[in-house]
A and B are shown apart, each in its own frame.
Chain A
Amino acid sequence: MNNPETMLSAYRLRKAFGGVLALNDVSFDVRRNQITGIIGPNGAGKTTILNLITGIYPPTSGNILFEDKRISGFKPFQVASQGITRTFQNLQVFQNMTVLENVMVGLHTQTRSEFCSCLLHLPKVGKEEKMVREEGYDLLCFFNLGKKADWLSSDLPYGEQKRLEIARALAGKPKMILLDEPAAGLNTKETEKISELILKIKEKGLTIILVEHDMNLVMGISDKIMVLNYGQKISEGTPRVVRMDPNVIQAYLGKE
């Protein structure tokens, strides 16, 4: 990988689940500080790509390079320490913890205290706790969740839980964030807010991969879009190019 503008590159990714081939020789690049959208009909393999990048399972074959480092085959926690975090299609907010605590967990990679120090509550632990609590709270305020910091996260309305998940993913100061259907289940107004939020995240310098079904959202904010169907890449380019691509139109309309 030579181009310094390329943050992540995937080469000939394949993923088989038993007899089912979820991804078939997919290659792509993600450019630094850009929003790369991934779209495609259900089952096309979009979430599979995110799962491969974040190490939920290893690829059957193929490579993933992140800033020139091979991360395919890494465990998820190792991927996180490289600077990649994510949200989940089926919302994996920690329901058993408060809103603030969720974000504090997000700061795990920024802190060091281990079992022994925590058991003994050494002074450095106290200092770290204070830092984590303050930073977490600041982040919640940025996401307009500050007032509900002590709420049990399962008591938040759905849209706010989705925001919380994004806040948590950002807490660890990642270089790249993967958003898996952040607008799923949201109404138009909430989707607009998510759209603004994602742009604000981009302004902060992050690189974003966005998997989404909401066409307005994806077309509206992506710098580049990749289209998948049946585990293969069928189109790639700017939103305008992709929108006109007959392959894409057929993949979506041909279904009906």
Chain B
Amino acid sequence: MGLREQVFQYIISGLTLGAIYALVALGFNIIHNATGIVNFVQAEFVTLGGMLMYSFYSFFKIPLPFSFLLSTAAVTVIGALVERGPIRMAKSKAIIILVFITIGISSTLRGTALLVWGPDNMPIPSFSGEKVIRIFGAAILPQHLWVFAITIGVVIFLQYFFYRTLTGKAMRAVSANRRAASLAGINVNGMILLSFAMSGGLGAVGGMIIAPISTTSYDTGVMLSLKGFAAAILGGYGNSTGAILGGLILGVLESLGAGLISSKFKNAFAFLILLLVLFLKPSGLLGHGEAERV
């Protein structure tokens, strides 16, 4: 394979992974916008998506498409339970405490996953076979196309939801100004619950569509979600277009870096980019600065 084909290959795999980062970043943003919390449970949403799908398919013999939907629904419910349970019950509402609580819940869920499924990788079949498609000399799997298609579908759905439905607009109102939203009659607690549920669903979808390509295990979600967070910061924290842009760019840079520079430091690239963004332009590519009213 010539250099051009190699680069194209890296870009394809970079965009694929980038799509997942984008989904995770969107999940982070939704919760952060609604509550100001950095939600560490995002990692487990991603993991559980893939693991539950594996169980539904391999153990309960439910056909793949239904396993997909079932798993999404399940993790959405888990997301809601996380909010309704520990977060809502927390005695202290200080953001630092709530963030720590998500760290605790994340560990708890990860520990549970370890006990239930063990430490091994779980194989998940591709959604529609393994026949390689060649475009410009690069090998593309059908699963890559699934990733792109589903991600685009999700993004369109979110656009529609946030800008065309009443609930979506209500959520945006809560992000903009919580007190004003509640005075306008919006059920703020309900919106927060919804934000967690949606993040759950998004994370699960992300985890499931990439699982056939990169397998899944009890801690797959950790790296993916951390990089997703880096993508969110890169794009401008809180900004949904930024999340998508950040995810794709991060995925491609990481892939190119691993392919062309050094594959040993693959995981470090994402975080080096994260640190660079924080130090040079903390508002990210598309974000604006945060003002604080006294």
- Taking Cβ atoms with an 8 Å cutoff, the residues of A that contact B are 17, 47, 51, 56-57, 88-90
Contacts and interface: CB of A to CB of B under 8 A. Distances in A.
B291 A88 contact: no
Interface of B: 291-292, 294
Q: Chain B binding site: helix, strand, loop or mixed by DSSP?
A: loop
Nearest to A76: B294
Contacts of B294: 47, 51, 56, 88-90
A157 B291 CA distance: 31
Contacts of A17: 291
A237 to B, nearest CB: 29
8 contacts: A17-B291, A47-B294, A51-B294, A56-B294, A57-B291, A88-B294, A89-B294, A90-B294
Nearest to B291: A17
A152 to B, nearest CB: 16
A201 to B, nearest CB: 22
A17 B292 CA distance: 11
Contacts of A56: 292, 294
A17 B289 CA distance: 11
The 4 A-B pairs with the shortest beta carbon distances in the complex, nearest first, are: A56-B294, A51-B294, A17-B291, A88-B294
Nearest to A47: B294
B74 to A, nearest CB: 41
Given A56-B292, A57-B291, A88-B294, 6 more contacts: A17-B291, A47-B294, A51-B294, A56-B294, A89-B294, A90-B294
Contacts of B292: 56
Contacts of A47: 294
B162 to A, nearest CB: 21
Nearest to A86: B294
A88 B294 CA distance: 8
B126 to A, nearest CB: 48
A88 B291 CA distance: 18
A89 B292 CA distance: 15
A51 B291 CA distance: 13
B244 to A, nearest CB: 24
Contacts of A89: 294
A47 B293 CA distance: 10
B292 to A, nearest CB: 8
Nearest to A57: B291
